[in-house]
Structure formats: structure tokens, C-alpha cells
Amino acid sequence: MTTAAPARTSFLLGLFGAGIGGSLTPAMQEREGFASGLNLTYRLVDAERLGYGAENLAEMLDWAQRFGFDGLNITHPFKQVVIPLLDELSDDAHDLGAVNTVVFRDGRAIGRNTDWSGWGRAFRRRLPEAVSDRAVLVGAGGAGSAVGYALLEQGSAHVSIVDVDVEKAQACATRLAKRFGDDRVRATTDLAGALASAQGLVNATPTGMTGHPGLPVPAELVREDLWVSDVVYFPLETELIHLARSRGCRVVPGGGMAVFQAVGAFEYFTGVEPDAERMVRHFEELTS
């Protein structure tokens, strides 16, 4: 599969999702584009503001291609429903059943996933010693699938998946088991029991995001010996991360995933390898 960009310096990109007004992705992508010598424009297309739903997705993709977009990042709630509308999928996007990066090349829409690699890179940057730990993953949507894939790909001994939608959790576990084996991943409704035998907890639900306050798990289950990660980065210090810090847990906030998924997407869109540490510094400036 080839998604390398043509040798040029001007790019039009965007982010499509619902309630994305606070996203830092445009600023990160445009700043890195400038630093890399590119003329890169990145726009938000907020489905919530436009009144768009899944039924408008095909129209939106067609519109983006007709108006000369080189690619789109796709976020909640469209990462899974976009798949049937694409011409081609990378192997990881196919395995995950979720796409967060669509590259337009030669009239074709190619789906990729940089969420899993972004989360994994951010995790290993913070907790390289914990890559083989048993973990509990709360949330089985697009972000949850990506985190589960990353955990297993980097060597987690076992991942237990919990979701309020039991069927969704089972579907996520079944999909991951096809790639990594039945003995390493399972869906469960017993959150407390799963956490009792785990070393880590990841929140991959919107709970804790601005507009969705609260904790994704009961506070009493957050033990001091757990490491805790969140995919939410707006705010960066979610209620879960704040609670975990207060109890002495090692934490991996959602900002790392936000940065490193953008690092991967930038290279797919432009064919230029970005300076990842420069993007980390810029993100820290934006959130300080």
C-alpha cells in the first residue's frame, strides 16, 4: 500500500468530528508544517455545529475531495462508520475496525489508524517498564480498540475490556483476539475483579472530557499501585488523572496520544517526517 504524498509543499487538511471546537490538532499541524517548510492549512469541520450525522459522511468525504483536501483526520463518532466509505484500508485500520486518518490520493480515499501507534509511543515514552503489564481497558469504541491494539502490540500479558455496551466490548475483544490470541484479551462485566489482577487502567471513553464530567470507574477501585492512562486531553488533567496522581499512581495523560497520533498523521499526509519532540514542546505550550 502506498500513501506517500507527491513531492510538493502545499497541503489542505482537516478534522471531522462532533464537538471538536477545542481541538489542538489544527495548531499542532500548522505549526509543524511551517517549521518543516510547508504551506499547510488545517481546518475543523464540526459535525455538531453543522448538524451532520453518519448519514452525511459520504457527502462530506466527497465534498472534501472535490474541494482539494489532501486528507482528513476523523474523530468521534465517525471512526468506525467511515470504513465502508473508503477505497482502501491499511492492515492496522482493518484489524482495528477504526480509522482516524484518511489520505486522498489519485481520487482514492485511503484509511489509516495512528491512534494506536500514537498511544503506544506516548505510553512507552512515560512507562517503558510497564509494557508487559496486565491492563483493564474501559471503553470499546474507536479509541478503545486503538488502545487495546497498542497494549497488545507492545507486549501486554492480558487486556480486559469493559464497556457499558456489553456487545460492543465483546466485539472489540473478538476483533483483537483474531490478531493477538484468545488467551491475551477478553471482554468482561466484572470491572472490580479485572482490576484486582491488573497493574494498569486505561480510560478510552469520553468520561472526563469537557462537557462529560465524572470518573469512568468507581473512585475506590483506583489503587495506588496501578498505573493510569486517559485518552481524554481536553482537559489534560481529567478527574481520573487528578485522582490517580493524588493516590500516587503513575499516570499517562491523554496529551501524549494527541501529539503522537498527530505525528503519524502528519507524515502520512505530507510524506515529510515531522520533528516529534518539537511537536511535544508545542503541545505543552498550547496547554500550559
Q: What is the set of active-site residues?
A: 79
Q: Cis bond leading into 206, ω under 30°?
A: no
Residue 115 marked in a binding site: yes
Residue 169 marked in a binding site: no
Residue 25 marked in a binding site: yes
Residue 52 marked in a binding site: no
CA 153 to each of CA 92, 96, 181: distance values in angstroms, whole numbers, following the listed order: 11, 12, 11
Residue 231 marked in a binding site: yes
Residue 19 marked in a binding site: no
99 in Cβ contact with 79 (< 8 Å): yes
Residue 189 marked in a binding site: no
Residue 196 marked in a binding site: no
Q: What are phi and psi of 170, to 5 degrees?
A: -65, -40
Rounded to 10 deg, the angle between the 115-126 and 142-154 helix axes is 50
Residue 14 marked in a binding site: no
- Where is 151: in which H helix or E strand? helix 142-154
136 in Cβ contact with 162 (< 8 Å): yes
Residue 143 marked in a binding site: yes
The vertex-91 CA angle with 86 and 95, nearest 5°, equals: 90
In sequence order, what E strands does the chain have?
A: 10-17, 39-46, 71-74, 88-89, 101-105, 108-112, 135-138, 159-162, 185-187, 200-203, 227-230, 250-252
26 in Cβ contact with 44 (< 8 Å): yes
Residue 24 marked in a binding site: yes
Residue 85 marked in a binding site: no
Annotated binding site for NADP(+): 91, 139-143, 231, 254
Annotated binding site: 23-25, 75, 91, 100, 115, 139-143, 231, 233, 254, 261
Annotated binding site for shikimate: 23-25, 75, 100, 115, 233, 261
